[in-house]
Structure 1
Amino acid sequence: MNDAVPLLSVPVAQLGATTISLGQAVFAAGLLFLILFALLLLALWRASRARAEAAEEAALRAREAEARMAELTKAQAELQGRMGTIAEVFGSRQAELTRAITERLDGMTARLGQSITEQTKSTHENLAKLQERLAVIDTAQNNIQALAGQVVQLQQILSNKQTRGAFGQSRMEAIVADGLPHGAYEFQATLSNGSRPDCLIRMPNGAPSLVIDAKFPLEAWNAIRAASESEGGMEARRAAESAFRRDVEVHIKAIAEKYLIPGETQDTAFMFVPSESIFAEIHENFEALVQKAHRARVVIVSPSLLMLSIQVIQAVLKDARMREQAHLIQAEVAKLMQDVSRLDDRVRKLQAHFLQANKDIDLILTSADKVTKRGAKIEALELGAPSGAEAMPDGEEESPGIGTRSGTLRLRVVEE
């Protein structure tokens, strides 16, 4: 033993200033072995624990997988049930859809048939109306043809000087007769020089009459139109215009010489043109004729201007009639003022009567008031005893008695 102890103390290594003995080295080796063994045990325990945890986790995962499989099986069964339900619903819906489509097709077929029937009926009605309108058009065409014949007749009338003058005369007479009262005009009157104008309008207040001539020379105007439509061209138109200008000048001169009589007719006469278009053409292309007529105191008038002039003359006649009736109006106004004066006097008398009646009523009210007061006093009367044994109250005195069959009526006068 003693030999062993020194053996353990034998130095075996030198680390710097520290000397490591054999015993220390053996102790360190044993300690290291224990540590390694402990680490090995710890590693084995951890490995076994890890395996246990892995096995437990695997078992848990297996249970979860079984649960999921069970859920999937259940979901699959539910899905199969739902698929069956959906298949049944789809089957019933498909049957309803088929039935609805069939009903709609039937309704559409019925409506289409009805629409075709109505359309056919409407087409027949439209064809009947079209036939009626065609009949109306045929009638209108016949009327147009008849009117064309009448226009031809009118053209023939206008081509004749006498009938054309009658046409212008009729238009002028219609305008004058529509605008003036009967007696204010005269057709085909005879003047002092023996001339007979187409119309003579009698002016009011003794003024000279107004002369209207309706015999406008339309031959030359028709010649101008015919020359414009012919192949002669400008030369034929110039010749026709020259002839028209000459005829109008002659007519203006004849009107001025025959119808302008001082003191008997107005110093201006009307030359009536029975067409607005001819009137406008004269003022546009024959200004010299208009000026010459103006200097000769002859006014060229169209139907519209003649109508306006007649309306002015009508206003003048109305004013003259009103002036003629002015004295009657004044007399009536004077009578009206007399009536008003008498009415004022009678109203004043009636007012005096009312005042007297009010005064009398006041007097009557006064009398009625007195009667009322006396009636109140009479209400205060009492029947007294015949022997006079009744005592009178203080403040009253006995009045003389009034003899009656039953006794004496005594009055009590109340002192006020």
Structure 2
Amino acid sequence: MDIAQIINAPVAQFGSSTFTLGQLVAGAGLMLLALFVFLMVLLWRSARARAVAAAEAAQRAREAEQRMAELTRAQTELQGRIGTIAEVFGSRQAELTKALSERMDGMTTRLGHSITEQTKSTHENLAKLQERLAVIDTAQNNIQSLAGQVVQLQNILSNKQTRGAFGQSRMEAIIADGLPHGAYEFQATLSNNTRPDCLVKMPNDAPSLVIDAKFPLESWNAIRAASEGESGPDAKRVAEQSFRRDLEVHIKAISEKYLLPGETQDTAFMFVPSESIFAEIHENFESLVQKAHRARVVIVSPSLLMLSIQVIQAVLKDARMREQAHLIQAEVVKLMQDVTRLDDRVRKLQNHFGQASRDIDQILTSTDKITKRGEKIEALELGPAEAAKTQSAPTENRLSPPGQGSLRLRVVDE
């Protein structure tokens, strides 16, 4: 075979395409050429990139040198400023240290004074606290004793007889404090053999006033128990009805037993030993108050009883003053007689003073005339003839001899 046949002989087949040796050699040459071209381009680009990189590196180096120079200059300036700031800070720190020292000294002094005053105040407060604790202990003891008394009072009020004695004692204390002894009588016996709790004697033989202290507290306590408990409104209504019924019976008993014509007043007092019960009766049991008024029974609380007793005391004082009126009148008559005698004596003394004044006026008139005549005599100039005439003058008209010290003249007219 020759070379042409070898070159044109098929060598490889890819799919439907058949390749000869010449085609493969030509393709390999082209590929090598392309590879060579690619390598040359790659080498040229690499060299260009290195040149650009070198230029950029040089530029960066120049910029870095400039920045380093700027940084060096800035560092120098910064060191100078830091030195200045260090000096300023040193001086300021010294001043600050001095100011802090002075403030600390002042604060220490003030703190010492404050601690001393606080200690003193604490001691005083502790002393006051001890005093208050002592007062609190005393008050606590008083409260404990008061609690015991309240328990005793509760025991008293739980018993009917002792409860009646409690109301009786309150009424007796009010009357005994307000009226003089003998103006009242406790547990006195009337003509119908009844014994009211108190009988106040009225002046001018007027009938006595009856005061009753037997208030029915059982029904009232039942009302309070029903109100405070959980039994319901029915139990409270039943307790109110029971209280109303007991109070009506008590009012009727007072009216029938103690209102005796000619012996007692036509009005009697029913004493209620509590202001709250009195207010509750007038607020919720108005019908009972009206029935009591119609029966001539007045419901009074401790304050109203005290006011009534003060009124009775004023009436008794007025009656005693009227009883002593004739004595006062006799004393006034004697006083008028003494005043009349004093007026007569003053008038006589006035007459004596008038007569003395007139006598003094006459004496002054005489002395005035005597003075005028003496002045006339002193003004005379006596000659020899007049002197002889004067010597032969009557005794009444010549001067008295020396040694007598007086001048006698005959008074012709007055």
TM over 0.5: yes
1:399 aligns with 2:393: no
1:185 aligns with 2:175: no
1:138 shift after superposition: 4.6
Q: 1:129 to 1:326 in 2, by over 3 A?
A: closer
Partner Cα separation in structure 1 for residue 387 and residue 271 of structure 2: 121
Aligned length: 307
Contact 1:203 1:317 in 2 (8 A): yes
**1:163-202, aligned counterparts within 5 Å?**
163-202=162-201
2:357 partner letter: N
Q: Specify the SS of the correspondent of 2:199.
A: strand
CA deviation digits over 1:87-106, x for unaligned, max 9? Answer: xxxx9999788655533321
Tell me the CA shift for residue 131 of structure 1: 5.5
Structure 1 residue 154 displacement after superposition: 0.4
CA drift of 1:339 comes to 2.4
Worse overlay, 321-330 or 273-282: 321-330
- Take 1:285 and 1:93, find their aligned partners in 2: how far apart are those partners? 88
Superposed CA RMSD in Å reads: 3.2
What are the residue-to-residue correspondences of 1:166-315 with 2, within 5 Å? 166-315=165-314
Structure 1: 5+ residue runs without aligned partners? 1-90, 385-389, 404-408, 412-416
Q: Distance in 2 between matches of 1:317 and 1:332?
A: 22
Structure 1 352/238 Cα, relative in aligned 2: closer, same or farther at 3 Å?
A: same
Specify the code of the residue in structure 1 equivalent to 2:319. Answer: A
Deviation at 1:369, TM superposition (A): 2.8
Q: Aligned letter for 2:156? A: I
AA aligned to 1:294 is H
Q: Using the alignment, how far apart are the partners of 2:247 and 2:231 within structure 1? A: 23
CA distance in 1: counterparts of 2:278 and 2:400, whole angstroms: 122
TM-score by structure 1 length?
A: 0.65
Q: Distance in 1 between matches of 2:400 and 2:180?
A: 101
Kindly indicate whether residue 146 of structure 2 is the aligned counterpart of residue 147 of structure 1: yes
Equivalent-residue separation in structure 1 for 2:139 and 2:266 (angstroms): 51
| Counterpart code for 2:391 | G
Structure 1 residues 212-221 or 364-373, which shifts more? 364-373
> Is the partner of 2:299 in helix, strand or coil?
strand
- Indicate if the aligned counterparts of 1:210 and 1:269 stay in contact, CA closer than 8 A: yes
SS at match of 1:399: helix
**Equivalences for 1:342-353 in 2 at 5 Å?**
342-353=341-352
The question of 1:322 aligning with 2:321 is answered yes
Question: Structure 2, unaligned stretches of length 5 or more?
Answer: 1-89, 394-398, 402-414
Per-residue CA distance 1:74-130 (angstroms, 9 max, x = gap): xxxxxxxxxxxxxxxxx9999788655533321212222442454355446545654
Change (3 A) 1:120 1:379: closer
Preserved CA contact (<8 Å) 1:400 1:410: no
How far apart, CA to CA, are the structure 1 residues paired with 2:135 and 2:310?
42
Measured in 2, the distance between the counterparts of 1:227 and 1:410 equals 129
* Deviations 1:37-59 (CA, angstroms, capped at 9, x unpaired): xxxxxxxxxxxxxxxxxxxxxxx
Distance 1:97 1:152 in 2: 75
- The sequence identity of aligned pairs, in percent, is 84
